Amino acid sequence: MILKYRDFLKENKMIDSGTVIKLKIVDLDGEHITKCKISYGYGVGHDRKPIYYELEVLESDSEKYNVGSHFFLDFNFDGKENKFLFYPNMTGHGSYIENHYQAKINII
C-alpha cells in the first residue's frame, strides 16, 4: 500500500526544523557522538514539500563526523542502518568532498 504524503508525515512524526539533537552513530570505525541541528531538504516542483533531513554537525567527539559538516537522512532514520551522503567541508575550507557512509544512527 502506498501512503499519501500527509499520512507518511504523521506516521513518522517529523522533527521540527531548527531542533538540535544528539546522535550516536555506529559504523565500522566505532561509535561516534554528535550534536546536530536539523533542517529540511525540499523536493522540486510547485508544492516544494520537505522530503529529507539535512543535519549540520555542531559538536562531535570524532574527526570523521567533524564540526561544520552536513549530512542527509530520510525521515525514518532513528535506530536503523542508514546509507547517507556526508559533506565534511561545508564550512568552505578545503576542496569539495562527498562521502558515502553507512552507519546505524540513534537519537540519544
Handedness of CA 71, 17, 76, 48 (dihedral sign): negative
Is residue 89 one of the residues assigned to a domain?
Answer: yes
C-alpha cell of residue 53: 533531513
How many domains does the structure of the chain reveal? Answer: 1
pTM of the model: 0.83
Find how far residue 76's CA is from the centre of its chain: 10
* Tally of CB atoms within 10 A around 34: 25
Q: Which residues contact 31 (CB under 8 A, 6 or more apart)?
A: 24, 25
What is the DSSP secondary structure assignment for residue 92, as one 8-state letter?
S
Task: Give the pLDDT band of residue 89 (cuts 50, 70, 90).
Answer: confident
5 is a domain residue: no
Does residue 26 form part of some domain? yes
3 within a domain of the structure (yes/no): no
Could you report the per-residue pLDDT of 13-69, keeping only the tens digit for each?
Answer: 788 899 999 999 999 999 999 999 999 998 887 778 888 999 999 999 999 999 999
In a domain, 46, yes or no: yes
For residue range 39-54, what is the model confidence (pLDDT) as tens digits? 999 888 777 888 899 9
Number of C-beta neighbours around residue 25 at 10 A: 23
**Per the domain annotation, does 10 fall within a domain?**
no
Torsion of CA 84, 90, 96, 101, to 10 degrees: -20
Structural domain containing residue 41: 15-107
Which residues have C-beta within 8 Å of that of residue 36, sequence separation ≥ 6?
20, 21, 22, 23, 55, 56, 57, 58
Q: Is 56 domain-assigned?
A: yes
- Please indicate, yes or no, if residue 82 is contained in any of the structural domains: yes
10 pLDDT tier (thresholds 50, 70, 90) = low
